[in-house]
Amino acid sequence: MKFFVDTADVDAIAELNDLGMVDGVTTNPSLILKSGRDIIEVTKEICSIVSGPVSAEVVALKAEDMIAEGRKLAEIAPNIAVKVPLTWDGLKTCKVLSSEGKMVNVTLCFSANQALLAAKAGATFISPFIGRLDDINLDGLELIGDIRTIYDNYGFDTQILAASVRTANHVTQCALIGADVMTAPPAVIKGMASHVLTDKGLDQFMKDWAKTGQKIL
Ligand code: G3P
């Protein structure tokens, strides 16, 4: 499973990228706001750090305007994936931009039918939002499983990009289900390294080592 990092924080991206943890990046208008940076500037900087797909989201609502914005965003770097919302106009935009050979990430997906439409419109990635479904007492992971089954049934090559990933357990479950990609905030990716038994075991080793009176260096 590929790891995308869901942030526009350049320092956090660079740190994870140095560890080989970053196969791509996803941003959205809320993350651009959080970064306090200009969208074109920060996206260009991210693309200079990461060689994999970097999603940059359009903000227009009509297809014609979305297409123009998508073309402008795609000029930033060859690894831009234009992110469009899963609306009818977003699907029209997806069809046009994917026909031009651009990567398209269709976002804000909350149903299997929406994912089916995105695949037919030529999406490179479909982004189902797990956490936001869980927030309203639906099962985000069940949606990932349903889309996996449907895409496999018909051989769609649109990649399932599990988004709104909030916990390390979400990551495990996405990997078990067979999501192609998951995108998570840096804190969730770092949190995957934590285990209470690792901390306990290390603590004991340190205590015993101190008793030996030895040094390695
Ligand atoms: O990848 C989508 C993500 O940015 C949304 O996450 O936690 O705001 O639902 P969240």
Q: Are 179 and 22 within 8 A, CB to CB?
A: no
CA distances from 9 to 18, 95, 176, 194 (A): 15, 30, 29, 22
Amino acid symbol at 53:
P
- State residue 21's pLDDT score: 95
Which residue is listed with tokens 């660079």?
14
Which residue is listed with tokens 């234009």?
82
Per-position DSSP letters for 185-206, written without gaps between them: -HHHHHHTT--HHHHHHHHHHH
**Ligand 1 centroid – CA 129 distance (Å):** 7
Query: Is the minimum distance from the CB of 23 to ligand 1 under 6 angstroms?
Result: no
CA 128 to chain centre: 10
d(CA 97, CA 208): 61
d(CA 112, CA 148): 9
Backbone angles phi, psi at 205, to 5 degrees: -60, -40
- State residue 149's pLDDT score: 98
- State residue 143's pLDDT score: 98
Which residue is listed with tokens 């026909």?
99
- State residue 188's pLDDT score: 98
Q: What percentage of the chain exceeds 90 in pLDDT?
A: 100
Q: pLDDT tens digits for 134-160?
A: 999 999 999 999 999 999 999 999 999
Q: How would residue 11 be classed by pLDDT, with cut points 50, 70 and 90?
A: very high
Q: How would residue 111 be classed by pLDDT, with cut points 50, 70 and 90?
A: very high
d(CA 107, CA 147): 14
Q: pLDDT tens digits for 18-61?
A: 999 999 999 999 999 999 999 999 999 999 999 999 999 999 99
Please give the structure tokens belonging to residue 127: 């982004």
Query: Is the minimum distance from the CB of 28 to ligand 1 under 6 angstroms?
Result: yes
- Residues of 136-153 as b/e, b for ≥16 C-beta within 10 angstroms? eeeebbebbbbbbeebee
Catalytic residues, which ones? Answer: 83
Compute the average pLDDT of residues 166-181.
98
- State residue 122's pLDDT score: 98
Query: Is the minimum distance from the CB of 7 to ligand 1 under 6 angstroms?
Result: no
Which residue is listed with tokens 């924080």?
9
Q: pLDDT tens digits for 60-109?
A: 999 999 999 999 999 999 999 999 999 999 999 999 999 999 999 999 99
Which residue is listed with tokens 């078990």?
176
